[in-house]
Chain A
Amino acid sequence: MPTSGLVITLAEDSARRAPTLLAIERLPDIAIGQPVDGRYLPATIQADQPTTTKCIQTIESYAGVDHVAITWIGLDEPAPRPHAPSTQLESAS
């Protein structure tokens, strides 16, 4: 399942943040981290692409959200792959 990483910028008005946080938390497929400075909320969504897009749109539509930045998009790999050779060169030295 693809994983997206997000930073959700909550509104400056702190009174609007709490209900928004609650609403975000209730969304399916999302996991949220600790807001930094109360405003910058790291989150991940693990869902197929249309669901992810819909979820982001929903978050953006909340009055208590200023902005959503996608910070990570990864195809889920079935198995871990070895590191690039340069990394191995470094670790060998």
Chain B
Amino acid sequence: MTFDRRQFMARTAMAAAAAAATKMARGDVSLDVLDSDELTWDKAPCRFCGTGCHVMVGTRHGRVEAIRGDLKADVNKGLLCAKGYHVGGILYGPDRLKTPMLRRNGHLEPVTWDEAMDVIADRIEGDQAGFAIYGSGQWTIPEGYACQKFIKGGLSNNNIDPNARLCMASAVTGFLATYGVDEPAGCYDDLDVCDVLITWGNNPAEMHPVLFSRVMDRRSRGEKVELFDLGTRRTRTTDFADHYLNFTPQTDLAIANCIARELIARNAWDKDFVGRHCAFRKDTEKPSLFGEASSFKEYATSLDPYTFEYVEEISGVPAEQLRLLADRFCDPSKKITSLWCMGVNQHTRGTAMNTLIHGLHLLSGHFGTPGDSPTSLTGQPSACGTAREVGTLAHALPGGRIVKKEAHRAHCEDFWNLPRGRINPKPGTHTIAMWDNFCTPTDEGGSVSTVWVQVTNPGQTLPNLEKLFRGKAGLEDKFLIVSDCYPTATTEMADLVLPSAMWVEKNGIFGNSERRTQQWFRQVLPPGDARDDTWQVIAAARRLYDRGHEGMRDKDGDFIFTIRDQQGQEVPAWEWAHYYDTNVDRYLFEEYRPFARMKHKDLAPYDVYVASRGLRWPVVQQDDGSWRETRFRFSGFDDPYVADGEDIDFYHSKTGDGKAQIWFRPYVPPPESPDTDYPFWLCTGRVLEHWHSGTMTGRIPQLQESMPTAYVELHAADAGSLGVKSGDRVTVSTRRGELTLPAWVDGRGQPPRGSIFVPFFDERLLVNALTLDAHDPISKQPDYKKCAANVRRA
């Protein structure tokens, strides 16, 4: 019988629809479908990935009871992936945290919020310099902004960093080093018109499925979109690729250099574009963000060794495939969009690789018109909006400012009405240093004594977990505070657990991968005593203020989180009973908004977002009073900040001449490679059904049932030599630990011989206990994509 995939899909979809129809007819209220008449519908962005799809949330009797794709949303036009369709279920796991808990005699015991706030204030008063906040790209913009102000404007220690350090820090440094300012020039619209799509170590078919479907739809309409997939294992994206370039881990740098070399060798680089808009740069001896100036001649000479033959030898990619990719970059008639995400960012040469991809687009002139764009994707819904734009990083201030610069600090102090010198000039501890310090005994230099974790799960997601997280065990003077919605691998170690409201249980604003700022309102109440993270920070700050803490006062002696309603009346927002007397999100967003303008990332007033499905910054007011978003940044035809008459203008150029930087960055071998003891490459990552550490998706039965456990993907030949078949238990070990889990031979993803893949969503099987904590020297982002491992039958 011929297997007809199309019929199969149709039958499956019809069966699912028929089952849903039957449920509806029985009046069986479910999250998937419900008659709209009985529901109140409101918009919200999906809680999961950085694609930023919009959903419509149907509520009834104080519960979310239905979810549908938002037809009015440009991002997803009504479609959702399997995760998004079930997003409402994240609120209703049976084990939601509902009351604050304090560890006493080894056990977590319920306490009041009042007691919890005292504990936080005591820890801060006991060691203010050693107090840190570890946050997230899932923080809403107001949440991140409140924490930023609390730590930098209140506690003056700069110890704040987001988990985004683990996911897109190298993208940030890549953008900064190239354009002098963070975040992509293009947007998702590029995907609607590109001729060639290149996925650099990226698997959007599983990780950003709705975005990927935008491209695949074009194919179904008969359009030609050529897909080059560059990866270290075959994925679901590879299934759709015209060309799959399987490279040895870390050699992506050599591949990029090879393509650049070929552009020059064929004299096919865009001399006019480069001459008008680009300068050249190279590393200094000690790698730094801006390196030093170079010349075209020096650049070209540095590329010389990267011949097809040499790169084929080290990368394993046949020269003819490299040539084919070079052909596309050499062809000015093709529109080329590059996408990348964790494969390039979680890399000890992540900054370098980011700059090389930008460099290829600049050198070839594939930049600045719709379809020609290098675009990095984010894994989290507000990695851009919060971590990057609000700047919740150890060295940064809102508005792209940095703590090291006196003028930037002064500017920020003025904005916050703080006395001069309040903001500490010394950058705080970045993620790896923060946790390393926290897990190091105080008398051995471990200077971080308390970490407050919000909206993330470092007990599962940090690399080298035994050292960087579990190392806290037995250190009596270290204290872990965790605000979360469910018990996690992090709350397991916590000394104080604070129950949080999540997603549509609170007001929120996210910023997705394409510079789109998205607002939503609270639609249901959180369970039990769970409360908003922003409230938790304001309440802690107020407790300190009441105790006379100077840092919680501004220049005039007023509370730094003085919140006023729209009539200008002060609202005691630190009291939960009054927190929703006004819209605190609106207040904080309006306070933050002027910062955004400093880097031409202009945001519209809060209420404009209320009326839209998100807008891409810079959003600039027009003569008629309306607000216009920008799709193509730095391009004269769309970006209002481009100088008159210019087609392209990199107006934040590091060199101050409107030019972007094309970098030479050499291939450097990885810090750990397979050897006799550990002969396999281990790569870790995500799966379609689960989102990140599975805290939310693991509580959605439909998703959990379809992917119930982590596994190790093996190549059939390796499985054969190990005597292993799918389902057998195998033990994966590295120099840092070992883990036993089921094998999946040539499964959904297919690693080449000598490589294995383990997803990190399963909190019972913590693969990050095995991964390396080596990190990029500039972005400090660790490498989860390659280390040496051994595999044996369990």
| Interface set of A (CB-CB < 8 Å, partner B) | 1-7, 9, 31, 33-37, 39-44, 46-53, 56-57, 60, 66-67, 69-82, 84-86, 88-89, 92
User: Are A73 and B10 in contact, CB atoms less than 8 angstroms apart?
Assistant: no
The answer to the question of B36 belonging to the interface, with a C-beta cut-off of 8 Å to chain A, is yes
User: Given the complex, which residues of B lie within 8 Å of A5, measured CB to CB?
Assistant: 12-14, 16-17, 20
B9 touches A74 (CB 8 A): yes
7 CB contacts below 8 A, A to B, read: A3-B13, A5-B12, A9-B24, A69-B34, A69-B66, A77-B239, A85-B709
Q: Contacts of A81 on B, CB cut-off 8 Å?
A: 236, 747-748
Q: How far is the CB of A31 from chain B (nearest CB, A)?
A: 7
Across-interface contacts of A84 in B (CB, < 8 A)? 706-709, 711, 744, 747-748
New A-B pairs, 17, CB < 8 Å, besides A42-B21, A66-B37, A86-B708: A5-B13, A34-B18, A35-B21, A36-B18, A42-B17, A44-B13, A46-B10, A47-B220, A50-B217, A51-B221, A53-B77, A66-B36, A70-B79, A71-B85, A73-B80, A85-B744, A86-B711
Q: B6 touching A76 by the CB < 8 A rule? A: yes
Stretch of B207-215, B253-261, B388-396, B569-577 at the chain-chain interface: B207-215
User: Shortest CB–CB separation between residue B692 and chain A, in angstroms?
Assistant: 18
Residues from chain A with a CB closer than 8 A to the CB of B205 are 75
Q: Does B537 sit within 8 A of A, measured CB to CB?
A: no
Identify which of B8, B216, B240, B727 contacts A88 (C-beta below 8 A).
B727
Answer whether residue B655 sits at the interface, using C-beta atoms and an 8 A cutoff. Answer: no
CB distance from A54 to the nearest CB of B (A): 10
Q: Bound state CA distance, A69 and B56, in angstroms?
A: 11
Residues of B within 8 Å of A7, CB to CB, are 17, 20-21, 24, 33
Residue of B nearest to A4 (CB): B13
Which residues does chain B contribute within 8 Å of A3, judged by CB atoms? Answer: 6, 9-10, 12-13
Query: Please, what's the 1-or-0 string for B20-31, where 1 marks a CB less than 8 Å from any CB in chain A?
Result: 111011000000
Of all chain A residues, which has the CB nearest B707? A84
Q: Contact at A4–B32, with CB atoms within 8 Å?
A: no
Tell whether A86 pairs with B709 under 8 Å between CB atoms, given A7-B20, A69-B20, A76-B9. yes
Nearest CB of chain A from residue B724's CB, rounded to whole Å = 11
Nearest CB in chain B: distance from A45 CB, A: 9
Contact across chains for A67 and B35 when beta carbons are under 8 A apart:
yes
Q: Judge whether B81 is part of the interface by a CB distance below 8 angstroms.
A: yes
> A85 and B81 in contact (CB under 8 A), knowing A6-B17, A42-B18, A72-B12?
no
* Those of B689-728 within 8 Å (CB) of chain A: 706-709, 711, 726-727
Chain A residues in 8 Å Cβ range of B212: 75
Q: Contacts of B236 on A, CB cut-off 8 Å?
A: 75, 77, 81
List of B residues within 8 angstroms of A86 by Cβ: 708-709, 711, 742
In the complex, residue of chain A having the shortest beta-carbon distance to the beta carbon of B66: A69
A49 touches B744 (CB 8 A): no
Indicate if B743 sits at the interface (CB-CB under 8 A): yes
A74 touches B709 (CB 8 A): no
Query: Which residues does chain A contribute within 8 Å of B744, judged by CB atoms?
Result: 82, 84-85
Residue of A36, A57, A71, A82 with highest tally of chain B CB at under 10 A = A71
State whether B33 touches A49 (Cβ < 8 A): no
Q: How far is the CA of A63 from the CA of B36 in the complex (A)?
A: 14
Query: With A and B bound together, what is the CA distance between A88 and B708 in angstroms?
Result: 12
Given known contacts A66-B36, A84-B711, A89-B727, A78 and B10 CB-to-CB distance under 8 angstroms: no
Q: How far is the CA of A63 from the CA of B709 in the complex (A)?
A: 46
Q: How far is the CB of A62 from chain B (nearest CB, A)?
A: 14
> Top 6 A-B pairs ranked by shortest CB distance?
A5-B13, A42-B17, A40-B21, A69-B33, A49-B217, A5-B17
Residues of B within 8 A of A75 (CB): 205, 209, 212-213, 216, 236
Question: How far is A62 from B620 in the complex, measured between Cα atoms in Å?
Answer: 38
B332 within 8 A of A: no
CB-CB under 8 A for A31 and B6, given A71-B32, A86-B709:
no
Given A39-B25, A42-B20 in contact, is the A69-B742 Cβ separation under 8 Å? no
CA distance A1 to B240 in the complex (A): 12
Q: Are A79 and B747 in contact (CB under 8 A)?
A: no
Asked whether, in the complex, the Cβ of A2 is within 8 Å of the Cβ of B213, the reply is: yes
Interchain CB contact (< 8 A) of A9 among B35, B709, B742, B747:
B35
**B746 CB within 8 Å of chain A:** yes
A interface SS class: mixed
- Residues of chain B within 8 A of A69, CB atoms compared: 20, 32-34, 66, 68
A73 close to B742 (CB less than 8 A): no
A29 vs B185: C-alpha distance in the bound complex, in angstroms? 37
Nearest opposing residue in chain A for B741, CB measure: A85
B746 to chain A, nearest CB (A): 7
> Do A49 and B17 touch (CB < 8 A)?
no
CB within 8 Å of A: which B194-231 residues: 205, 209, 212-214, 216-218, 220-221
Report the bound CA distance from A90 to B743 in whole Å: 14
Q: Are B17 and A44 in contact (CB under 8 A)?
A: yes
Query: Which A residues are CB-close (under 8 A) to B726?
Result: 82, 85, 88
Contact B239 A48 (CB under 8 A): no
- Chain B: which residue is nearest A40 at the CB level? B21
Determine whether the beta carbon of A85 is less than 8 Å from that of B35: no
Select from chain B the residue with minimum beta-carbon distance to A79.
B239
Residues of B within 8 A of A39 (CB): 25
B216 touches A2 (CB 8 A): yes
Q: How far is the CA of A36 from the CA of B34 in the complex (A)?
A: 14
Q: Which residues of A contact B32 (CB under 8 A)?
A: 69, 71
Q: Are B3 and A80 in contact (CB under 8 A)?
A: yes
- Separation of A81 and B25 alpha carbons in the complex (Å): 34
Pairwise interchain contact B709-A48, C-beta atoms closer than 8 A: no
**How many Å lie between the Cα of A36 and that of B23 in the bound state?**
9
CB atoms of A78 and B707 under 8 A apart: no
Q: Are A2 and B16 in contact (CB under 8 A)?
A: no
B17 touches A43 (CB 8 A): yes
- Tell me whether A53 and B71 are in contact (CB under 8 A): yes
Q: Which of B9, B221, B707 is most buried by chain A, counting CB atoms within 10 A of its CB?
A: B9
CB distance from A81 to the nearest CB of B (A): 5
A30 to chain B, nearest CB (A): 11
Q: Which residues of A contact B727 (CB under 8 A)?
A: 85, 88-89, 92
Residues of A within 8 A of B5 (CB): 76-80
Closest B residue, CB atoms, query A37: B25
Query: Nearest-CB distance from A2 to chain B (Å)?
Result: 6
Decide yes or no: A41 and B21 within 8 Å by CB, A3-B9, A84-B707, A84-B711 being known contacts.
Answer: yes
A31→B25 contact, CB < 8 A = no
**Cβ contact within 8 Å between A71 and B707:** no
Chain A nearest CB, measured from B196 CB (Å): 19
Once the chains bind, are B742 and A2 in contact (CB under 8 Å)? no
Is the beta-carbon distance between A85 and B743 smaller than 8 angstroms?
A: yes
The residue of chain A having its C-beta at the shortest distance from the C-beta of B709 within the complex is: A86
B754 contacts chain A at the CB level, 8 A cutoff: no
Rounded to whole angstroms, the CA-CA distance of A43 and B12 in the bound complex is 11
Query: Are A40 and B25 interface neighbours, CB within 8 A?
Result: yes
Chain B residues closer than 8 Å to A40, beta-carbon distance: 21-22, 24-25
- Asked whether B640 is an interface residue with its Cβ less than 8 Å from the other chain, the reply is no
Is the C-beta of B78 less than 8 angstroms from some C-beta in chain A?
yes
User: A57 to B743, alpha carbons, bound, how many Å?
Assistant: 45
Instruction: Specify the chain A residue showing the minimal Cβ separation from B209.
Output: A75
CB <8 Å contact, B17 and A2: no
Residues of B near A34 (CB, < 8 A) are 18
